[in-house]
Structure 1
Amino acid sequence: MTPFHLVYGGEVVVPVEVGEEFNRIKVYDENNAERRHLELDLVDETRAKVVVQLMAYRQRMKQSYNRRVIPRSFQVGDLVWKKVKPVDDVTKLGAPWARPFKIVDKFHSSAYYLDDEDGWKLERP
């Protein structure tokens, strides 16, 4: 189904500058108006079918994504690398990760509060 069909209950008719009449115009008769009313009565049912198909598609996408995700969890005190979001002058060759941060608090399974101080020290020989 096209979005136009879902909204207006039929396919879009684009005027052609050639001068040839469309098949819809050529074969139009009084039954077409009656048939158009019947089609409009079925628009809600068509929309409902599309919603069900969309929900099924989203479920399949979710399952496909979840199969590839590796679940990770961290504890308070762990050192983690923080991903850097690119800003104005950062090139694609710049480092995508910032220095190690220490986890201070855990809000829920995927949200952590990181220590902003330089509490970590690397020992160099």
Structure 2
Amino acid sequence: MVYSGEAIVPVEVGVESDWIQHHNEDNVVRRLLEMDLADEARAKAAIRLMAYQQRMRQSYNRRVIPRLFQVGDLVWKNVKSVGDVTKLEAPWVGPFRVMEKLRSGAYYLEDEGGR
């Protein structure tokens, strides 16, 4: 409804979008097939990710030197990561005495004061 003026239709109304220009039933079928294959692509990506993680784990474990401690051994406790330590600062505290070894590979430690 226009009062004392001229009604003008915007140009955008007459211009068709790319989606409308290229729309046909083949595109709909193709899009549905792609959606069906998305689960398969996701599963393949998950398998590739697991294989990558396994290779990284094997590469890391090749360079790790396992250390086993006995009850009564004196050890140092690491309290800072390598990046958080300045040149003159030690990343560990201690010494601590190994009091008990747990099945999980962890240790109960005791300092010189008995704590």
What is the match of residue 55 of structure 2? 60
SS at match of 1:54: helix
What is the match of residue 117 of structure 1? 112
Q: Which runs of 5+ in 2 are unaligned?
A: 1-17
The Cα shift of 1:91 comes to: 6.0
Whole-angstrom distance in 2 between the partners of 1:63 and 1:91: 28
What is the match of residue 82 of structure 1? 77
Q: Which runs of 4+ in 1 moved over 6 A?
A: none
Q: How many residues align?
A: 94
If each structure's helix is expressed as a fraction of its own residues, which one has the higher value? 2
Query: For each residue in 1:31-63, what CA deviation from the matched residue of structure 2 results, as whole angstroms up to 9, or x when unmatched?
Result: 212111110011111111111111111110111
What is the match of residue 98 of structure 2? 103
CA RMSD of aligned residues (A): 2.6
Please tell me the residue identity of whatever aligns with 2:23.
Answer: D
User: CA contact under 8 A between 1:82 and 1:99: conserved in structure 2?
Assistant: yes
Q: TM-score, normalised on structure 1?
A: 0.65
SS at match of 1:114: strand
The structure whose Rg is larger is 2
Query: For each residue in 1:80-100, what CA deviation from the matched residue of structure 2 results, as whole angstroms up to 9, or x when unmatched?
Result: 0111237xxx86232111121
The Cα shift of 1:116 comes to: 2.8
Whole-angstrom distance in 2 between the partners of 1:59 and 1:113: 31
Whole-angstrom distance in 2 between the partners of 1:46 and 1:61: 23
Q: Which runs of 5+ in 1 are unaligned?
A: 1-23, 120-125
Percentage identity across aligned positions? 59
1:42 aligns with 2:37: yes
Q: TM-score, normalised on structure 2?
A: 0.70
Please tell me the residue identity of whatever aligns with 1:28.
Answer: H
